[in-house]
């Protein structure tokens, strides 16, 4: 048992703990009031910025007021005000009161007399009806009629006297109102700006938010998404702030976008991404800790910046091929379809896209085998601007075996127009320039790019095939994109003569043709085509039901960087850098284990 007066004291410990608790409480209050309420800083900055602008605008508006005119109005107004305070005006007010009483008395006397007249008239008619003497009533009735006429004249006179005084009073009052209206007209612009200034200064820092419904066909916004962006981006939806910096800048194409996409229904995060509910930026915008813009490690949809914002159009406009306000997105979609990316990679909404490469069902009757081998070995040697990618052949046998299978499955062509009978190449050249071929085809870098260049077409195919093709492209394939030119037989022979002069037929390679007929190569060719995915861009017999050879990209934009394999590539480990590298060089991320 401890001795009295010798107990151990914990006062100092409790003092330290109390102090720590107080400091912690103060920190909590500071963090809540300052650290977590970033939007208040921007609201205050906007109020200061807008107040300065409005004050300058008010000063400028007041400069535009004619000082002489304003002085004249103010002097006349002062006189008008003095007139309302003068003895004359007070006398008029008193006179008006007296005249009003007199008028009321005259009205009352007149009404009483009319009531008496009605009573006497009743008595007169009642006596007449009863057969009694009614002459006294008749006399009284006539006397009252005369009296009423006199009272009516008196009432009219009293009314005129009253209105005359009232008119003088109104004249003096109206003059003041007129001068007030003139002054208000001069100050109209400045007064309107003044009201705006008062509204800005009394606005405070409210949280503005919208709750969004389900949106989008290819990447929806979930119901209940909260959008608070306009809490900081206050003038985003107001014209006139296009030259300011964010977050105080007017939205681009304001009318065109928001007429069709009301902010109450679409918000901001639908197109721009970010974390719509958040209002805190810990450090600097667009750095880790910028919760409002989604720059937080586990947030899947950070703010889209620059041209990437246009990608959000795909959420609703997935099947729309042209969008005027999204030129980069539109161009990207065209490239994705035209270059055949969609043939290997499924994207929801683009299932309708046709195969980008030509139909190979009858290829044997179209091209020379020697040309075909050179083509699939390196397409750019024949067409420098071709859209066909360079196949990453692993061995020299692969292209030969692929050809062997394709040619073995080739169906015979219906030579509907027979063999080429010969023609005039010079006239054909002239016809080529006039019939419209240059709109789609190029020769010597002149012409369109919608279809292959024809500089060396004779290296590829025979005059017989050209002759049949140009007369009826659909006879070759129902999916042929070239329209019928409605050529006469003579025009077809001339045009064929010219085209077949462009280039030289390749020398026959007996060894190659033997290899193409080898059953083992034909068998292995199926595996080669299946491995390289040639069927994705071309119709090849035997692969009608084959699935797309590569991964689906519908949700590729949502992939985290940790899901991307960078291999040995020395590039920044970001989604953008990986995608850019993959598009430019699909093999750049391949390593020993790929």
In-domain check, residue 46: no
**Two structure tokens written together for 269:** 């995060």
Q: Are 400 and 530 members of one domain?
A: yes
Domain shared by 120 and 241, yes or no = no
Q: What is the Cα–Cα distance from 277 to 558, expressed in whole angstroms?
A: 19
DSSP 365-401: GTB-HHHHHHHHH-GGGT-TT-SS-----SSSHHHHH
Q: How many domains, in total, are found in the chain?
A: 4
Q: Among residues 95, 298, 218, which one has the least CA distance to residue 557?
A: 218
pLDDT for res 283: 82
Distant-in-sequence, close-in-space partners of 113: CB < 8 Å, separation ≥ 6: 144, 147, 148, 151
Say yes or no: 415 and 506 in one domain.
Answer: yes
Q: Closest Cα partner for 389 from 433, 442, 345?
A: 345
Using alpha carbons, list the distances in angstroms from residue 245 to 46, 115, 235, 251, 278. 11, 82, 11, 11, 21
What's the confidence (pLDDT) of residue 72?
92
Q: Do residues 480 and 567 both lie within one domain?
A: no
Residue 152 lies in a domain: yes
Q: On the CB side of 439, how many CA atoms lie within 13 Å of its CA? A: 7
- Give residues with Cβ within 8 angstroms of 162, minimum separation 6: 96, 99, 100, 102, 103
Q: Which residues form the domain of 233? A: 207-338
Instruction: Let me know whether 147 and 231 are in one domain.
Output: no
The whole-number pLDDT of residue 5 equals 55
Instruction: Show the low-confidence residues of the chain (pLDDT under 50).
Output: 1
Q: Indicate whether 400 and 528 sit together in one domain.
A: yes
Looking from the CA of 292 toward its CB, the CA atoms found within 13 Å total 23
Token pair for residue 24? 């912690």
Beta bridge partners of 281: 290
pLDDT reported for residue 1: 46
* Structure tokens that stand for 72 in this block: 């004249």
Domain for residue 346, yes or no? Answer: no
pLDDT for position 6: 62
377 with 497, same domain?
yes
163 inside domain: yes
Query: Same structural domain for residues 172 and 262?
Result: no
Tell me, yes or no, whether 196 lies in a domain.
Answer: no
Do 221 and 266 have their domain in common? yes
């Amino acid at each position: 048992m401890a001795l009295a007066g010798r107990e151990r004291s914990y006062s100092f410990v409790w003092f330290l703990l109390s102090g720590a608790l107080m400091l912690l409480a103060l920190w909590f209050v500071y963090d809540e009031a300052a650290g977590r309420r970033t939007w208040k800083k921007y609201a205050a900055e906007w109020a200061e910025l807008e107040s300065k602008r409005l004050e300058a605008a008010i000063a400028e508006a007041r400069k535009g007021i004619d000082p002489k005119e304003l002085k004249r109005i103010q002097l006349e107004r002062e006189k008008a005000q003095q007139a309302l305070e003068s003895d004359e005006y007070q006398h008029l007010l008193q006179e008006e009161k007296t005249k009003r009483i007199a008028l009321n008395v005259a009205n009352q006397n007149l009404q009483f007399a009319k009531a008496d007249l009605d009573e006497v008239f009743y008595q007169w008619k009642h006596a007449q009806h009863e057969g009694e003497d009614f002459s006294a009533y008749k006399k009284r009735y006539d006397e009252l009629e005369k009296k009423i006429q006199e009272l009516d004249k008196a009432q009219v006179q009293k009314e005129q006297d009253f209105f005359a005084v009232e008119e003088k009073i109104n004249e003096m009052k109206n003059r003041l109102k007129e001068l007030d209206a003139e002054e208000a007209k001069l100050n109209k612009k400045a007064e309107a700006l003044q009201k705006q200034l008062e509204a800005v200064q009394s606005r405070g820092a409210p949280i503005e938010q919208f709750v969004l419904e389900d949106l989008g066909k290819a990447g929806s916004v979930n119901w209940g998404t909260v959008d608070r962006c306009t809490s900081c981006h206050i003038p985003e939806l107001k014209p006139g702030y296009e030259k300011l910096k964010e977050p105080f800048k007017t939205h681009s194409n304001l009318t065109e976008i928001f007429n069709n996409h009301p902010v109450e229904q679409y918000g901001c995060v639908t197109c721009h991404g970010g974390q719509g509910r958040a209002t805190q930026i810990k450090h600097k915008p667009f750095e880790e800790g910028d919760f409002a813009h989604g720059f937080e490690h586990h947030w899947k949809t950070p703010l889209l910046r620059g041209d990437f914002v246009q990608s959000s159009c795909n959420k609703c406009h997935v099947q729309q091929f042209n969008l005027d306000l999204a030129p980069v997105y539109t161009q990207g979609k065209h490239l994705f379809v035209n270059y055949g990316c969609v043939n290997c990679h499924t994207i929801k909404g683009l299932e309708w896209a046709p195969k980008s490469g030509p139909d190979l069902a009858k290829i044997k009757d179209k091209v020379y085998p020697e040309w075909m081998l050179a083509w699939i070995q390196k397409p750019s040697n024949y067409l420098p601007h071709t859209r066909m990618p360079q196949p990453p052949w692993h061995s020299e046998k692969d292209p030969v075996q692929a050809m062997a299978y394709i040619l073995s499955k080739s169906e015979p062509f219906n030579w509907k127009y027979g063999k080429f009978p010969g023609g005039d190449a010079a006239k054909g050249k002239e016809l080529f320039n006039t019939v419209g071929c240059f709109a789609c085809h190029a020769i010597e870098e002149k012409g369109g790019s919608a279809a292959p260049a024809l500089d060396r077409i004779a290296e590829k195919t025979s005059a017989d095939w050209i002759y049949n093709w140009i007369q009826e492209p659909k006879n070759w394939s129902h999916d042929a994109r070239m329209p019928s030119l409605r050529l006469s037989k003579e025009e077809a022979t001339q045009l064929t003569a010219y085209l077949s002069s462009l280039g030289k037929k390749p020398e026959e390679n007996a060894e190659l043709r033997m290899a193409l007929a080898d059953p083992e190569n034909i068998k292995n060719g199926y595996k080669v085509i299946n491995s390289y995915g040639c069927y994705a861009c071309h119709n090849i017999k035997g692969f009608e039901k084959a699935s797309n050879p590569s991964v689906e990209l519908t949700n590729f934009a949502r992939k985290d960087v940790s899901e991307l394999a960078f291999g040995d590539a020395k590039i920044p480990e970001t989604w953008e850098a990986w995608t850019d590298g993959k598009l430019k060089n699909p093999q750049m991320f391949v390593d020993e284990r790929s």
